[in-house]
Chain A
Amino acid sequence: MNIQLRDPKNLMKLSKLGSFHQSKLSFLRSFLNEFKDWEYKKDLFQLNEKGYGRAVYSFSKKNKTYSLVCFANEISDEERSDRVIATKWDAAFALHDGVPTKKDLERLALNVPKQEVGRLSYKELTLSRANKSVRIFDHVVDSLSKGNQPNTELLSKVGYLYRTTAVYGSGKFGLADRFRIKNREEIYGPFRLEMMLVYLVRQFTFDQVNHIARHKNPNTAIELDLNICRNLGIGNSTGLGMAPFIVNHPILLNNWILARETALKKIREIEKATKEELNIFKNCLVRSLKNVTNWNTDSEFQNKKIKQLIEDLEKFIKFLNEDFSFENTFPFNKIYIWAEENLGDECIEYIVSMMMEPYDEIINPLTHKMSSEEDRYFNIPINRTIEELRNILEKRYSEILKIDFKKKENNQNFWFISKNKEEPRVANRYELEGSNLEQPLAIARDIKKLYEAIFTQKNSLKIGKFLTNHNHLRHVVRRAFITEKFPYAEIQDNTIGSQLMPIDMLRLKLSFFGAIKFDPKSDKWLRICMFQGAPLPADLKSFDKHWIYNSLN
């Protein structure tokens, strides 16, 4: 049986992409697989009795070492903010390439806590900061210092002690450029070093909380139970900064989606599933339900989606138990077709993620195909013709060409970069100023302009010649030729319409990171949790590959 890859015109709609869930392809899961046989060490832990100071953690293998350098700072409650405009944080972190010298530590101490206004060097790979969930952190310190474990019900409502508010990499603020490290085989997968940073930060939060509790009351204090630790992750507050990323990295986007779609295709093509494979699928599905039923959010938008997801999952489980036999040939194809016909997007994509769980041999090779070389496709093929360009637009952008941008609602928003923090923002062009400085993220509108511009051009005209008088459309000419080669490179939707939900774009990216418990705080930012249920560094030599469903919450 030859199953076709899903059609980008349907799949690449924002509402669909905003329904994606973590899966075995997610970067935090592939990071743990890659680094499971590296040696973990706590190299330095110099905190005062209140938990302020510095610490260094590392992963090493052969001659290679990556070190997380942590700085924990005292800040007042008024200074604590998750917004990108904040200037102080409870802790700041940098991932250093190698073992930092004393000189490096002094340099980093001066710069890392300053984040965007500090300067890093090519020896640093990623940079981040995090704030305590004060309510949870204080409760844990208080409980441990009195010799009690914290209230797990309270912990489950939040899921972490700290949340990061930004994680930077790839040359930002002087960090190492990607070309310096891209050929290292252990990080040949997107965002590996960002995942490493977050994972080691998680361990730091446990060590810090134990340290403070011990100093608060040395006679009675106990350490945080390891099972409770395993069920705590790291939170993350994410705003619009992530949204332009997926537009500005079309080949990377394609490779992420293509890996997911290839996995689905191959799984649907399995004629007979073994008993063990079916057990893994069913087991993960059942265990994962806790992650859904304990998904807490105040967002009406997300609660509606969760409610629908729970209803659909109940329907699906009933179908599995009553109307489906795994003795069928091509069982996963039959499940997928039934899901398409009977369930909403949120649940269809949930089931797609679950289907991947039994199949290491399909998924593991794909995790190495999720990086990209965007520069290789940067040059516009100037010798191609207008006829070829028109064919590409009609084939790859047919949905987009249907949008009428003369209608106000289809042209309502514009994306810009704020001068204050150099962060992306989205605004209503009819109500707010700044649209003259619009960023090139209205791809659908500009593709349509390009289509209209080539309408009157000769078929045989070369692209190089066409551009002489149409350089205002150069950015979308480049994209069209990229999309010709990479069918999932483009969001097939309007990124400036009145119906735009920017968090759909964030959700897409975060699902590939492996985040769970999406908690939208508005249509423009959300909180998530990472590594909840993950093994601790000491467990890495041997751990349950389906750990993400281990959460007690």
Chain B
Amino acid sequence: MISFSEIETTAKRATRSVGFSWGISEEVGKNIRLLEMFGLPGVKNINQYFKIYNAEKFEDINAFSRSNISKKHYCPINAGVNFFDQSSTISDLGQMEINNLAFPLLFIPFVSRTSELIGKRIFLKMDNKEFLFNFNQSIYSNYLSGDIVEKSEKINLQFLENKNSFSETEWSELYKISENTFVEETDELKQKTAGAGLTDND
């Protein structure tokens, strides 16, 4: 079995060898390791992407907006780096669309890391595949095939506000159950165990 450390080093070197800077190559090395750790096919996808990278021309997204549309395919690495670097302004948009992204799985780890950086969950829909990024701690998805995904016609991203996944009633009910670990306080307990006695007024 290839270790994650070997995957990171090799992906970094391969990224450099096709012409990316060392700094971006470091990012991609970490990203491919992350994909593989989350059980997503990072090595497969980057290997395939680099086979065509220098033969085909890819577009860059230098400044993200709500709608990012190009006739040519966007490069997932440059798009990912810029997405991460612009994340503080991008998240204010609430949601965005990216059309024509090549090898979109390579974009995924940038989104996962951005989720951690901005402290918000991000929901991404790529054609019929859905991903929920949880602060770079986990990725929840309906995509399990482990195949190469060469392009995505349309990606929708939503920056989710931090809110609870349960109602106030559900919380109160659970809290009430948790109270069963507490001891009912009698006057004697109040007097002898809290330190201040029954009154703490001067």
Interface residues of A (CB under 8 A from B): 119, 121-122, 170-179, 375, 378-380, 382-383, 417, 440, 462-465, 467-468, 471-478
Contact = CB atoms under 8 A, between A and B. Distances in A.
Contacts of B183: none
B85 A179 contact: no
Interface string B1-43: 1111110000001000000011110110010000000000000
Interface residues of B, number: 26
A378 B6 contact: no
B85 A175 contact: no
A20 B53 CA distance: 47
A140 to B, nearest CB: 38
A418 to B, nearest CB: 13
12 contacts: A174-B2, A177-B4, A177-B5, A382-B85, A382-B117, A464-B85, A464-B86, A468-B82, A471-B81, A472-B23, A475-B22, A475-B26
Contacts of B4: 171, 177, 179
Contacts of B5: 170-172, 177-178
Given A375-B30, A464-B86, A468-B85, A121 B21 contact: no
A379 to B, nearest CB: 6
A473 B82 CA distance: 14
A179 to B, nearest CB: 7
A383 B88 contact: yes
Contacts of B62: 468
A172 B23 contact: no
Nearest to B9: A171
B88 A464 contact: yes
CB-based closest 4 A-B pairs: A474-B23, A171-B5, A171-B3, A464-B85
Contacts of B151: none
Nearest to B8: A171
Given A379-B113, A468-B85, A474 B24 contact: yes
B85 A176 contact: no
A175 B23 contact: no
Contacts of B85: 380, 382, 463-465, 467-468
A474 B21 contact: yes
A379 B2 CA distance: 25
B159 interface: no
Given A378-B30, A468-B62, A471-B23, A176 B3 contact: yes
A465 B63 CA distance: 9
Contacts of B22: 440, 474-475
Contact of B6 (A174, A178, A417, A464): A174
Interface in B106-126: 113, 116-117
A172 B3 CA distance: 7
Contacts of A478: 23, 26
B202 to A, nearest CB: 42
A473 B23 contact: yes
A379 B81 CA distance: 11
A43 B63 CA distance: 63
A340 B109 CA distance: 51
Contacts of A467: 81, 85
Interface string B54-84: 0000000011000000000000000001101
Given A175-B3, A177-B5, A471 B30 contact: no
A325 to B, nearest CB: 54
Nearest to B113: A379
Given A176-B3, A464-B85, 19 more contacts: A122-B3, A171-B3, A171-B6, A177-B4, A177-B5, A382-B85, A382-B117, A417-B13, A462-B88, A463-B85, A464-B84, A467-B85, A468-B85, A474-B22, A474-B24, A474-B26, A474-B27, A475-B21, A475-B23
Contacts of A379: 113, 116-117
B87 interface: yes
A492 B86 CA distance: 32
A122 B117 CA distance: 31
Nearest to B78: A471
A472 B62 CA distance: 15
A173 B26 CA distance: 20
A271 to B, nearest CB: 40
Contacts of B87: 382, 464
Contacts of B27: 474
Contacts of A175: 3
Contacts of B24: 471, 474
Contacts of B1: 119, 121-122, 174
A472 B82 CA distance: 14
B135 to A, nearest CB: 13
Interface in B152-198: none
A68 to B, nearest CB: 20
Nearest to A466: B85
Nearest to B6: A171
A380 B2 CA distance: 28
Given A468-B62, A473-B23, A172 B88 contact: no
Contacts of A477: 23
Nearest to B17: A437
A383 to B, nearest CB: 5
Contacts of B13: 417
Contacts of A382: 84-88, 117
A472 B24 CA distance: 8
A478 to B, nearest CB: 7
Contact of A472 (B21, B63, B81): B21
A174 B10 CA distance: 13
A385 to B, nearest CB: 12
